[in-house]
Amino acid sequence: MTNSQTNQPEERRSLGAALNALLVETRSVMPAAGSTGLSLVLVIAAMCFLASLALGAALSVADVTSGWTRDLSGAITIEIKPSDAMTPEAQMSAALKLLNSTEGIVSARPLSKADITALLEPWLGQGNVTDDLPLPNLIDVRIDPISPPDLNILAQNLATAVPNGEVDTHRQWQSELLRAARTAEWLAYAVLIVITSTMVAIITFATRAGLSANKEVVEVLHLTGARDRFIAAEVQRHFLHLGFRGGLLGLLLSIATFLLLGAQDGAANMFLVPTYGLKPEYYPALICVPLAAALVAVMTARVTVLRTLHRLL
């Protein structure tokens, strides 16, 4: 038989074999996990897709909450209800005088009638805010976040200078929103932990199954003088490839999903997740997912092989 004849079966590769070579084959001395190879890549891809979504959601929510914290903690609202003791104009000018003389206040801007009507329209409907509806006057106050004024003293001074004048610090609204957002953020991290643990369990199972199916190979390797370290290195290289390839596949799917969410714009508005998908600066962080998947796969496989070999032989 000639050399070319011998090599023919190696050269003629079907599409399935080519796909297998791309996704599963690792040229390891330990046989590729056989039929479990491709399914394992797909499972890791699915895990990494979910992990990327969770990480993207956690990053977006963290970004949104820090934005809210920045915006809300830098602003307060002065609410002045109508009073018999003073005209609305006198109330407004007394309040502005007090605010302008208080240290730590950057600006104080009275809201016009049109602004207040616009704020109420979502609740009352357009054109339903009539002129005879008694409305409070509002002043939008920006405070210096580095050296803010003492809001308790400001509230006391305001109550003295302006009848029915109140300071709204948005604190209740802010803390409730933040609590909800933080819960969503921690939930996303918890999902990441669950996904990682599941991946560890799956890879441990696959490694044990692989070793058990290839006992004969392990024995021949031992008898030819291989150390456990060598066998572990061969097995972990196999799982490094599977982990990284699966991770990359999951990452690509998740990037496509985020881009799709971004393209959908308002239609894709989800709970706390911004409508524009993932901010461009967060995409590089997603690269951590396939790297982490490969690392988790390698470490799990190594520990499992060394433990199993020690117990088996």
CB of 38 to other proteins, least distance (A): 16
DSSP state of 287: T
CB of 298 to other proteins, least distance (A): 19
CA dihedral 303, 305, 310, 313 (to 10 degrees): 180
Contact 23, 238 (CB under 8 A): no
Q: Which is nearer to other proteins, 113 or 227 (CB)?
A: 227
Please list, in sequence order, all residues whose beta carbon lies within 8 angstroms of the beta carbon of residue 83, skipping any fewer than 6 positions away.
91, 163, 164
List 189, 230, 276, 283, residue binding other proteins (CB under 8 A): 230
CB of 6 to other proteins, least distance (A): 5
Q: If binding is defined by CB under 8 A, does position 221 make contact with other proteins?
A: yes
Contact 167, 136 (CB under 8 A): no
List 16, 122, 125, 225, residue binding other proteins (CB under 8 A): 225
Measured between its terminal Cα atoms, the distance across the chain in Å is 41
CA 213 to chain centre: 39
Q: If binding is defined by CB under 8 A, does position 12 make contact with other proteins?
A: no
Q: Which is nearer to other proteins, 166 or 228 (CB)?
A: 228
CB of 70 to other proteins, least distance (A): 57
Q: Judge residue 197's burial from the number of C-beta atoms within 10 Å of its C-beta, 0-12 exposed, 13-18 middle, 19 or more buried.
A: exposed
List 81, 222, 279, 307, residue binding other proteins (CB under 8 A): 222
Chain residues in the site for other proteins (CB under 8 A): 1-3, 6-7, 9-10, 29, 31-32, 216-217, 219-227, 230, 310, 313
